[in-house]
Structures are given as structure tokens and as C-alpha cells.
Structure 1
């Protein structure tokens, strides 16, 4: 049984632990948080142990760093005081490149991960970037962990900012469009409850259709767009408003901000 220790017990750590427990995976799970009551509370929900920092570092084969980016520097400095050889370190902190981790912890096997908030319902898509010291077995362990949250894909670390723009921040784009659709529905005469229900259920149905149909987004769009019909009129309005350009500029801003954040950790 592989021992995995979570440093930080926020929403993402809770989601991963939930997935590992529900999936009946063979991990021995421990958790540490600077706010000890948070780790203790999590241990009342799931079959895990709340332990000290020294215990989690020394006893875990896999260390899962689930802290905010602003706390990573101090955490890595604390970890550097321990012998990490042979341990797998997984970090989900946004905007920090593999090179920064490997400069601070040169002997450690590091995997950088960008999940998204759909982890909470075990429907995430996670990007995994593998450090130079990561073995095949450790890569398999990482993939096994994040597979319980949904789908995952291995990419080069240099592509992580682009992935962040597509999937890391992506759920918010769909939520925002759904919000705007509901607002438009109200302006067109629906009640707020009616518009919120219709917009959110349309998002759910479209996502399920995309997942289960085996068709591309373009194919699904074309299938519901009759020539000169109602959907056609809406899509033409999107095109005239240069929605494609608007989406690209937004995602470029996301990727640029991720790149700027990486620049803060050199």
C-alpha cells in the first residue's frame, strides 16, 4: 500500500481524498495543515490520519502539495531540510514552473499538475508535467491519482500556461456564458428562476452530449444549426460581434497572467 501525504487540506485536497476513498484505491492517506483543526476535521469524514509536518514528510512516499502559490516558497524551504530521495512530490500550485521546484529540491521527483474545479464532482481534466527525476512507476502513480478525479493528460511544462487558459480556468468561461444567457433570458421575458434553470440545464445537457456522442464540438454545433434558422441567426450575431476574437483575447490574457506568475518564481 502506497502512503500519500497531503500538505494542505483545502477544497482540492478534499476532492482528491474523496476520489481516492470512493474509488477504493490502495493508498494509505495522511494529512497535515498549519491549521491543525482542518486536518483533524477531514479525518472525521474520511479514513485518514491527521499528522505533524515531520511525520508526513518522513512517512509518505508521495507528498501532495495542496497549498496556495504564495506559500510554496516557504514550504519548499521547509522540505529542503529533509531527505526526499525516492519520494514523489506532486504540486497543484498554479503559476510555478518545474524548474523552480527542481532548483529548490534538486534530488526530488516532481510532477506539476494543473487540475480544474470540476475535481469537486470527479469530472476534472488535469494537465500533468513530469520532472527530470520522475520514474515510470512514479508517473504511473500520479496518473492513477488524478484519474480518480476525471481525465488527465501529460504535456510539456512549457505548454502548461496554454493548458491553464483552456482547461484550468475554462470552467469559469462556461459559468460566465451561462450567467449571461440567463440574464439575456430575463431581458427577453423569462423570470429569473426560469432563465437560471434553462441556462444551467442547457449547459449540463450540452456537456453530456459532448462527452457521450463521440462527435466534435463543430459537428454538434452544425447538427443543431439549420440554414437560416433560429440557431443560425444567433451564431451569425456571434460572428458579427467577433466572438472568436473575444475568446482568443481572453484566453491569451489568462496565459499571459500565468506566465507572469511563473516569472515571480525564478
Structure 2
């Protein structure tokens, strides 16, 4: 029924906005910039909750075979790059600018698909990716708080997001559902991030973190892990009942909501040219959602 879809969409938007705000709070306000530990904690809790939910029958998950898990490992590597670089970037870049840069991941997806498949150019899609690319390229020039490291990590993030999107859509195996794919992502991430915690210096830095014993810090970390899991469930629930176009509409609305509210939650410095980049980028995203009505990606 239509009203159930709206409820699922509103639930997704709420969890999406609160999840990004919580992550931003821990990373920027509390300054816990140790992504191997922060993302390792989130993926560990996500894996435990997902496996527990599967055992209790709350979600549908089949037994994952070794061959299916191995064939999905390229996607898991891209997922780790996505969350690690995303944390680095989000800790240094304001949410509206982060989403503007993240939008250009569609440019990466578009280029990959055009390179591997020859198909007729859809002009609305081409114009939309051009708008998002131009916005992302011009944003560093006008960002009043430009952070070179943050933008470098944002580039790594959008490359991983764009490549992961293509891999997920064109993955040929029918053995893995979205939840099973994410379960592999979680388990692989926990293993890889745990191994990387000491060489990157995150473990040593975290042990000396000033707010380590703070209840605010503990609450923020617990909330971020739980919200990440809820975001997965609401995303899968929403995707199962909607077309790609309508799912894209809810993502777009969730981003816009987060950007409109974020200035009231976090301090940010924004000027007219940088705001124009944000608006143009999301106008391009809206056009892309329209252009994807008859497309797979």
C-alpha cells in the first residue's frame, strides 16, 4: 500500500539524517579521528546484530557459501575503502560539501559503465553527471574552510562509492541478497580494520584520546553503530518495495533534509559561490533520478 511506502521512506530519511549527524558529531565535534577503530566498531556491531537477527528469523538470510563469499570480496574491498575514506573526509568537511563531493561518485559510475558497455548516450543523464562533476571540481576553490587532506580522502571515497555501485548492480551471482552481501562486507571490514589499527597508529592514538572515558563519547559511538545497522535495514526494506527511481527520490530528499538542518547543529562557514556549487550538484542529482527511470544504474 502507498502509505506503507511513505512510512518506510520517512523511517529511512530519519535514520539517514540522524546517522550522518551522529557520525559527524563523533568525528568532528569530539574529534575522534581514528577511522580503523571507529569504522571497525561500527562494522563489528553491525555484523553481530545482522547475524543475530538472521538466527532469530527477524531478517531473511541464507547460509553464505565460501565460493559466494570469495566472489564478493572485490565488493568488500571497495566497501572498506568507502567507509574508511568517508570517515576521514566527513571529519574534515561540512555535510553539504561532503554530499556535493559524494554526488560525483555518479560520474565515476557513469564512466565505468560507458567504458565496459557501449550504449546510446542519454542526454539528461549526461547533463546531470556534468553538473555534478563541475560542482565538485569548483567547490575546493570556493570552500572557505578548504582542507586539502579532507578533499583528498573525499576523492578516494567517491571513487570507491562509484565503483561499488557498478559492481553491486552488475554482479552476476544470484546467490547473495543485499543483506548477505552486507554481512560479508561487515565481516571482511572487521578483519581488515583490526589488522590495520596498529600500523596506522589509530590504536595508540585512541588510547590517549582525551574523551575516552566520557559518557558523551561512549553514547555517540554506541548510537553510531546502532544507527548504521538500522540504516541498513531501512535501506533494504525501502529498496524492496520501490523502483530505482523512487528509491533515488528518497535518498535525494534525505540528503537535502540533512543539508538544511546541519547548519543549525554544526558550525560551518559557507559563502555564495560554495552554496551555488551545492545547489547545482543536487540539481544534477535530481535530474539523474529523473533520467534513471528506464536505466539499471
Do Structure 1 and Structure 2 share a fold, with TM-score over 0.5? no
Normalising by structure 2, we get a TM-score of: 0.22
Normalising by structure 1, we get a TM-score of: 0.24
Q: Give the structure with the higher percent strand.
A: 1
Q: Give the structure with the higher percent helix.
A: 2
